[in-house]
Chains A and B, each alone.
Chain A
Amino acid sequence: MTTSTTWGLRPDLAVIAHQVKSGSRVLDIGSGDGDLMEVLETQKRCDARGIEIDPVLVERCVSRGLSVVQGDANTDLADYPDKAFDYAILSQTLQTAIRPDLILDELLRVGSRAFVSFPNFAHWRTRTALLLGGRMPVTRALPVSWYATDNIHHVTVEDFRDLAKSKSAHIERSWFFADERAISPIGANWRAEFAVFELSR
């Protein structure tokens, strides 16, 4: 990260907030309670829109003055015109998508650039939990058991790079995190708990 200001955001969101250019149009898919959107609107003077599936979180966003539509990222991105946004952001949601590959296509259709963040299933803790425990890993980054998790498509840093390549998506930049801190890209597929990619096509 270029600066230490996080505006109280999760590390992957803070890095995205720093990268987004001031005054741009942003679609935050899976906007949660709107923390990132609010920072983008107040600190970066962006025109930020959100999609969120949980009505309670939508209500919270609306009451913060944010423009959020209750909807499903799997189906509702089709509502948006091509290149309607400078950035489409999908944070910690790719692995919950019915078809992550199709979502990636949609991100790069509605946005000139896309940010995608996800938990890395190839982190050493996950690997050792599966290797030694012989059971689906329940870790700090993936705290929910296999039968209840929303993460139906676990993905690793290398898997994502392959997907981007097969989709002719250009990886502009990438960031990796472990223990809530940014780490170097060396050995990221082993060392990173979370990854953030900036893509274009």
Chain B
Amino acid sequence: MSFFRWCRACLGTGFILVQSYVLNNSTTFQIPEPLPLDSGQVLIGAQIAFETYGELAPDKSNAVLICHALTGDQYLASDHPITGKPGWWERMVGPRKPIDTDQLHVICANVIGSCMGSTGPASEAEDGKPYAMRFPVITIRDMVRGLIALLDGLGIEQLHTVVGGSMGGMQALSLAANWPDRAARALVIASTARHSAQNIAFHEVGRQAIMADPAWADGNYYASEASPDNGLAVARMAAHITYLSEEGLTAKFGRRLQDRSFKSFGFDADFQVESYLRYQGSGFTQRFDANSYLYITRAMDYFDLAEEHGGKLGDAFAGSSTRFCLISFDTDWLYPTAESRHIVHALNAAGARVSFVELSAPNGHDSFLLEHEQLDRVVKGFLAGVQL
């Protein structure tokens, strides 16, 4: 039974447990004040679910906030409660790992709008029913507002480092730009300061796939038998292609056929790559809410850090004393190196301290999640680097 079918079942029997299901695994923080949003609306009674790893130093100087990507969650270095799979960055975060939890207190929180315990479209609105499409449209900065509220709640005034890859990098940039005193360092991996037309276009394909699924029902599927799994799976399939490189796909699958010696002259998954994408798509629906996918992709599309700061990206970082490190990958065509360089340029113009390196990796955008010794060394070095 998928997570969302389970939740629906709970809703159907009167157990409103969409969030408490997750609370068994994660701590949740209730944001005490209404959370103001870029749209002008406010989110009342919002919750943030989070995980922590490593001990917080008595002076609270060793807190690292790691921001997750579009479909990520707070299960950074612990098993995922639905899939049972290891945390999404377990290779990077842990004792004696590049982000060393023997030294650092790592916090990873589910962003608002998501579906793993933080308030999102699947959560109850004030009337006791799921928000669904009544959930306000949020932005990356709104997600960061939620994270800042969490830091306030935890009494952490300044982070040792804010870290993020992909959409997590957008949050790290937004935090450093809008709350410059809250992070001594910002590590931004495979990310961008704005969504390009191509980025928006791919997301729109995904959203249309979800909304074209009859089971989506204008977003009101939480209490019904059906859910827009087909649409969500197609959205994931399209997006997944953008996370990989042509080189990586060719190396992994080529034109090889799936469990057969001949083409079927039909529309089964003849090719391994088709089978792989279908598997990725259907696996994704077990752990993700279609409406959350709509809201979070929208937030990413709306992201343009320069626009928030009068059109000049440099102005977003004026006077910043945060140390920045940006990393890109040469085969990432989703957020290519040019986007990181654009940010580096702006940081230089603002006189901010910035390091930047483009790493060579065969696996496109997803490289930041995979084994990469040089990435490990840069991350470790930047976090350990003496504050000169």
Contact = CB atoms under 8 A, between A and B. Distances in A.
Nearest to A84: B351
A58 to B, nearest CB: 4
Q: Main SS of chain B's interface residues?
A: mixed
B369 interface: no
Given A41-B388, A63-B377, A65-B388, A58 B348 contact: no
A58 B385 contact: no
Interface in B357-374: 357-360, 374
Contacts, number: 74
A64 B325 CA distance: 13
Given A41-B388, A79-B349, A84-B351, A63 B357 contact: no
A172 B52 CA distance: 56
Interface stretch (A66-74, A134-142, A160-168, A189-197): A66-74
A81 B348 CA distance: 8
B359 A62 contact: no
Nearest to A38: B388
A56 B377 CA distance: 10
A93 B255 CA distance: 47
Interface residues of B, number: 27
B354 interface: yes
Interface residues of A, number: 23
Interface in B337-388: 341, 344-345, 348-349, 351, 353-360, 374, 377-378, 380-382, 384-388
B139 to A, nearest CB: 28
B298 to A, nearest CB: 32
Given A65-B384, A71-B344, 19 more contacts: A42-B388, A47-B353, A55-B374, A58-B355, A59-B357, A62-B355, A62-B357, A62-B382, A63-B377, A63-B380, A66-B385, A67-B354, A68-B355, A69-B355, A69-B356, A70-B356, A70-B358, A79-B348, A80-B349
7 contacts: A63-B384, A63-B385, A65-B385, A67-B354, A69-B356, A70-B356, A70-B358
Interface of A: 41-42, 47, 49, 55-56, 58-59, 61-71, 79-81, 84
Interface of B: 323, 325, 341, 344-345, 348-349, 351, 353-360, 374, 377-378, 380-382, 384-388
